[in-house]
Chains A and B, each alone.
Chain A
Amino acid sequence: MDDNIRGESGGYIGQSVPRREDKRLLLGEGTFVADIQLPGMVHVAFARSNLAHAEITSVGLDAVRAMDGVIYAASGADLADELPPINGMQVVTPQGWRDRVDTDILIPDQPLIPHDKVRYVGEAYAMVVADSRYIAEDALELINPEFVPLQPLPDAQSALDEGAPLVHEHLGRNVAAFLHTKKGDGAAAMETAPHRLRRQFTHHRYAAMPLECRGVVADYDSRTDTLTIWSSTQVVHWVRREVATALGMPEERVRCVAPDVGGGFGGKGHVYPEDILIAYLARRLRRPVKWVEDRHEHILNAAHSRDNVYDVEIGFDDSGRILAVTSSFLVDSGAYTPVGAGIAGNSIAHMLGPYDIANYETDCKIVLTNRTPNAPYRGAGRPEVGFAMERAVDLVANALDIDPFEVRLRNMITADRMPYDVGLTYRDGVPMIYDSGDYPQALNRALEELGGLAAIRERQKAALAEGRYIGLGIGCYVEGTGVGPFEGATVKIDPTGKIMVATGACAQGQGHETVFAQIAADLWQVPIDDVFVTVADTAQVSQGYGTIASRSTVTASGAIQGASDEIQKKVFAVAGHVLEAAENDLELRDGGVGVKGVPDLHMSYRDIAQAAKPGWDHKRPDGVEAGLEATSYYVPPTVTWAYAASAAIVEIDRETGRVEIEHFVEVHDAGTLVNPGLADGQVKGGLVQGIGGGLLEELAYDDQAQLLTGSLMDYLLPTASDVPPITVVHMETPSPLNALGVKGLGEGGAIAPPVVIANAVCDALRPFGAELNSTPVRWGDVAAFFGDDPYAQAEA
């Protein structure tokens, strides 16, 4: 890699720099958790419940402990006194949010291994440590558990029914949280609205399903009394915190590293019991311990997501202006809510999207059931609420016989109204003010990419005349990104003059090592190869937050900037002293500091680092301390506002109901793009996940809360053949809220596709007055609109 890659301005930011991560991954030399092999390592398997809700009477481990090759076994009862549960709400909501949103939150703690009850199919009730995973799984079969089955709660409604058993008795109810917020007066505005409609919208349960399952390796060093944990996680600092708390160790004596991680998408974005248990075992057994989840375990046990039911009422006038929106929704949170009210908090904030709507009221119940716990997955509440809202907007259009495109334009906030006060409070406790962007422009552009609205409608009419059904679907959203509370970065100038950057962000394929190198290289005016980036290692950065919620580019860049600014003061002071120049006459250039306008007066970072050393023979001016390193914690003022307009054309096979997406377009604005190529990959990857969510992926439960889709043969991930032609247009309206003008973009792609597909199918089926208000969109449901006999004589 060389300076050819710099842009015209001479910077790396804005260039599609090839990734430095690629080489090791392409050669098969990446290190994922399962690849770590340490001498004397032992292996763990968990006994997992086949019942969704049952009392644990006893767990007989005698036969297990007697088996050859088994080193240790424990049930929840064995650990109850030693290891406390994980604090129920891993993401604490700030006071500012709780002051302005009505909340009643009672989150259950999550035991590492329960001893009283199992609460979902897949919950662990015992663990075995053995010489190999094969032997550990054999040992599981020797466990003698006794359960008393309890009535399972297979869905949110059953958990709310009168007389329903409690998932967590001590909470006294099955509602983990009630949330409520409003602006204007939704009820009054609804009363006076010329038109109203009410519908229920269901967004089904599906999940992040990364290709790499979870895994943890832990190693305890008795000489230094330190634990090292490698976890396939997005939040190394959270893991460190929880392990240190559980084991009563200082955080500095616990190191958590996320090595190469094979995808996370939110599913690895909180602390799981296994993160702590494996660490505990390493310290207890004084041997390195490895646990790698298998796919079946993953599907049962790694967090699920979505699974919302919305009851929405929308009031509008004759021209399609939306006057009021009220909604009441349920989140099926499963047996625990590790990220508390986070998802629903997003939903209530994002419902109004890009529209100027004066009156809004919403309430929600986060319901505990006997399903797998629900935690954020790419989009985290925005796909769910976006589905409800964007379907509702189409229904408003249909009711008035106005084009859905037109209705959206009539309601959209226009660019000249930025910054726009939404009148609601974001999850960070700060009033929501959309910072920048042009929503109508994005929508217009999306339709242009599909050939223009008029042409599309013409095609549609002509097709219908031939007995073919094509449809146009639209979905728009605004997305708060780059949320706090903070991110940390430590920057150092190494004695060799290299720029060392470490940040609490964690990577699962986003290309952080490259992106942050670009940012630092521009800050320090060095070739990018002189920047070394470490992510996801608590030993490198004292405090960090991690990668969730489309936040890392915004927050880590802020921290890198902050730390660099601090060091730069010292760098100028030292260089000024050595070069005998005033600091005002200095500039960063050519891998060091030079005097402006004097090419020969230049000092490399290496020489500056040497000059800044502690001890004798340094060249620091008086009052300047040794060392060129700084740590900064960037606290974003609030979120930045990415947004997109998506549209697609579909064609329906009237005989089979099969939905073929002819072309899917997303016009996406995430502000300044540090690496446009990587940004494009993020959006496209998200779009394909969203298409999967709209058409293929489903976690289906029966009435005993048994998961029916427990393998990849039934949980259908999109393959290359399932991807339609996709066009992504990137608009770059810089955010005024940070120096680089960046907004977050990790999640965006996954938000719109389900509703775009549903809207497109309904549009195609308008001759039948069809409404599809739930996901996934099923071919069988589509086919049903064409009547029982696909070959009947009479044609529409």
Chain B
Amino acid sequence: MKPAPFTHLAPTSIPEALAMLGEHAPDARVLAGGQSLVPMMNFRLARPAVLIDLNRVPDLAYIRDNGDVLAIGAMTRERTIENSELVHDAAPLIHQATIHIGHLPIRSRGTIGGSIANADPAAEYPAAVLALDCILVASSVRGNRRIAAADFFDGVLSTTLEPDEILTEIIVPKLPPLSGSAFVEIARRHGDFALAGVAAQITLDGDNVSDVRLAACGVGPAPMRLVTAEAAIRAGGPTGDAFDDAARAAAAEVDPDGDVHATAAYRRRLAGVMTRRALAKATEQARRAS
């Protein structure tokens, strides 16, 4: 399958990229790592007349320690994030999500911004940034806009980015003290999109839980905060029984579709199981941090 013809634009700065997108939207698509977009173009399911290639904009790839948060440039490669000690130590959930993404050659090119803007319901980063209430910075010729993760994903492969906006930065709150995180997913093969995956972060306060965050992927049209599961943990504390309750709550609150890989009922079950496993792992990590 060969892609349809397109004009290739390769800006070398952010303002240039924004100007190009401003001029050509909505007939243009932004090319980040290409690991999701190019297959669609090869199938001719995506046929942008203009491709704005961000791979020559060095200013979009960075990982900065900004005190309470990490600021990660949208074009930062997944492979770079995987190898980053800073991310591993300061925002471990992002690292944990990253190692589930595909395979090494995919991560060589794939970017965090590309994955988030692509908004595949089964992708790992959208669930992770949702769990952490990250801020997603959208830029256009009209300026920058900070979008809360909770307001970013609005359907299958759909976000609230305007046609002339590029996702340029992801602001990630650092892991608080006495906290742990985990990303657990189940896929039919290693590296496949998850049948269900859960990003979890938990902060302990003695025998209680002062904060718990759970977000699932693969279980609906968009990543989802598991609010009733979170409530069960806040109520029951970091105990096995509460984890069981949270699992049941998660299974009840998701609304997945069925497909050739899993029925809706099975995905529900998996959402529950992944929730429980992610909670157990995150809690174990939090206890070690205590």
Contact = CB atoms under 8 A, between A and B. Distances in A.
Direct contact of A and B (CB under 8 A): yes
Interface of A: 133-134, 137-138, 294-296, 655-658, 696, 698, 700, 708-709, 711, 713-714, 716, 718-719, 721-722, 779-780, 783-784, 788-791
29 contacts: A133-B2, A137-B2, A296-B43, A655-B276, A656-B269, A658-B186, A698-B260, A700-B260, A708-B260, A714-B260, A716-B188, A716-B189, A718-B189, A719-B191, A721-B190, A721-B191, A779-B188, A780-B263, A780-B265, A780-B266, A780-B269, A783-B266, A783-B269, A784-B265, A788-B269, A789-B248, A790-B269, A790-B272, A791-B247
A655 B269 CA distance: 8
B19 interface: no
B9 interface: no
Interface string B265-288: 110011011001000000000000
A709 B260 contact: yes
B68 interface: no
Interface string B172-204: 000000000000001011111100000000000
A790 B273 contact: yes
Contacts of A655: 273, 276
Nearest to B47: A141
A657 B44 CA distance: 37
B5 A138 contact: yes
Nearest to A658: B186
The 7 closest A-B pairs by CB, nearest first: A780-B266, A721-B190, A791-B244, A134-B2, A655-B273, A700-B260, A294-B1
B104 interface: no
Given A656-B270, A779-B266, A780-B263, A791 B248 contact: yes
Nearest to B240: A791
B261 interface: yes
Contacts of B2: 133-134, 137
Contacts of A709: 260
A658 to B, nearest CB: 7
Q: Is the interface of B mostly helix, strand, loop or mixed?
A: loop
A136 to B, nearest CB: 9
Contacts of A133: 2
Interface of B: 1-2, 4-5, 43-44, 186, 188-193, 244, 247-248, 259-263, 265-266, 269-270, 272-273, 276
Contacts of B190: 719, 721-722
Nearest to B272: A790
A656 B270 CA distance: 6
A787 to B, nearest CB: 10
A322 B230 CA distance: 57
A698 B188 CA distance: 13
Given A655-B273, A698-B260, A700-B260, 5 more contacts: A696-B189, A716-B188, A721-B191, A780-B262, A780-B265
Contacts of A789: 248
A138 B261 contact: no
A521 B192 CA distance: 48
Nearest to A655: B273
A696 B195 CA distance: 14
A134 B44 CA distance: 12
Contacts of B189: 696, 716, 718-719, 721-722
Contacts of A779: 188, 262, 266
A716 B195 CA distance: 14
A711 B272 CA distance: 29
Nearest to B251: A789
Interface centre among B192, B265, B266 (most CB of A within 10 A): B266
Interface centre among B2, B191, B244 (most CB of A within 10 A): B2
A296 B1 contact: yes
A780 B186 CA distance: 12
A795 to B, nearest CB: 13
Contact of A656 (B186, B192, B265): B186
Nearest to A722: B189
A470 to B, nearest CB: 20
Contacts of B192: 716
A780 B269 CA distance: 9
Contacts of B188: 696, 716, 779
A657 B262 CA distance: 12
B41 to A, nearest CB: 12
B27 to A, nearest CB: 18
B43 to A, nearest CB: 7
Contacts of B262: 779-780
Nearest to B245: A791
B276 A137 contact: no
A697 to B, nearest CB: 11
Contacts of B273: 655-656, 790
Given A658-B186, A716-B189, A791 B266 contact: no
Contacts of B272: 790-791
A46 to B, nearest CB: 12
Nearest to A133: B2
A790 B247 contact: yes
Contacts of B186: 656, 658
Contacts of B248: 789, 791
Contacts of A784: 265-266
A138 B2 CA distance: 9
A720 B142 CA distance: 49
A137 B247 contact: no
Contacts of B265: 780, 784
Nearest to A791: B244
Nearest to B2: A134
A137 B1 contact: yes
A657 B2 CA distance: 39
Nearest to B4: A138
B248 to A, nearest CB: 6
A13 B269 CA distance: 55
B17 to A, nearest CB: 27
Nearest to B241: A791
Contacts of B260: 698, 700, 708-709, 714
A294 B261 CA distance: 24
Nearest to B273: A655
A709 B259 CA distance: 10
Nearest to B42: A294
Contacts of A658: 186
Contacts of A719: 189-191
Contacts of B191: 719, 721
A243 B270 CA distance: 54
B261 A714 contact: yes
Nearest to A718: B189
A656 B2 CA distance: 39
Contacts of A708: 259-260
Nearest to A695: B188
Contacts of A716: 188-189, 192
Contacts of B4: 138
A791 B276 contact: yes
Contacts of B247: 790-791
A716 B193 CA distance: 12
A137 B4 CA distance: 8
A295 B43 CA distance: 10
A708 B192 CA distance: 17
Nearest to B190: A721
A702 B192 CA distance: 23
A779 B43 CA distance: 30
Contacts of A294: 1
Contacts of A721: 189-191
